[in-house]
Amino acid sequence: MTTRPRNLIDPYQPTPARLHSVFLGGKDHYEPDDALAKNLSSSTIRPAITESRRFTRRAVEYLSDHHGVSQFVELGSGLPHAPNIHDIAEQRSDTARTLYVDSDILVAAHGRAMLHEGPRYFTDTDIADTDAIMGDIAAVMDTTAPLAVCVSGTAEWISDAPAVLAALTDRFPVGTWLVLTHVTDEFYPDHIQAAAETLRRAGIPYHPRGRDEITAMLAGYQLLAPGLFAPHRWPPTPSREGDSENGDRDGIRRLWATATRHRAAWDLSAYAAIGQRRQ
């Protein structure tokens, strides 16, 4: 696994990982992160981020239940906030493995302390380092078995994200699943563009993208219905094959934590998709 020395944590400079922690109700953040989140509290960027996270959790459930996926890689994993990807995967498979990747200093500190042995792993490899990422995946995953890569709330922070994702896609084994979410400025453009400018002034570059550019990022993948869609409109699965006549109460209880909260009739400033890499 690849690790490198990092600079010291700067509690006065907001970061994407700590900002997400505020939005998702986590506890790993500092006063500047809280202040920045407060400035963005009335923007549609906050529900876009939170609903994208819920979509990712539901996608992990779906791929585990319906496609036999028990290996998950999360690129730009951020700070832990239950239910994490491994929590969901391990509820559904005794052989589940999860690899978290994030180069944020605080995230790396948490990852090295909490995820130092299987079936949960962490690396602080730079996502743009394709060779290193693939080496990290090969070190802990069976690349001949079903594998899903989650990129949620990550691409927006990377200026050349389309090129980075294309380079990784070229290296992923055929059959690899991709779970992608991405904030867009096509809905509520004034809100999202103002939020992006607020983030830039805080020293955090942010890159919302339109449907065409996000669609291009999914080239090479066969998308599950309904394709590229608003994350809060992709429904959770209330029951699974083999559930009893009265329903699987444990399954429903687990699903409740990841269920959609944003009203389906509303627009949301984000897109989401699940796809499988084609030949």
Cβ 238 vs Cβ 183: under 8 Å: no
| pLDDT at position 236 | 46
Strand-pair category, 97-101 with 71-75: parallel
Q: Six-digit token pair at 262?
A: 């944003």
Q: Per-residue pLDDT for 255 more than 80? A: no
Say if residue 240's pLDDT is above 50: no
What are the pLDDT digits (tens) for 184-193? Answer: 999 999 999 9
Per-residue pLDDT tens for 104-115?
999 998 888 777
- CB-based contact 59:81 (threshold 8 Å): no
| Confidence at residue 248, expressed as pLDDT on a 0 to 100 scale | 37
Instruction: Compute CA distances 172 → 77, 148, 275, whole Å.
Output: 18, 10, 13
Residues 84-96: tens digit of each pLDDT: 999 999 999 999 9
CA–CA separation, 170 and 24 (whole Å) = 32
- Looking at the chain, the whole-number percentage of residues with pLDDT higher than 70 is 85
pLDDT for residue 194: 96
Helix (H) or strand (E) holding 63: helix 45-67
Confidence check: pLDDT of 224 > 90? yes
Q: State CA 195 to chain mean position distance.
A: 20
Strands (E), the chain: 71-75, 97-101, 120-123, 148-152, 177-183, 221-223, 270-277
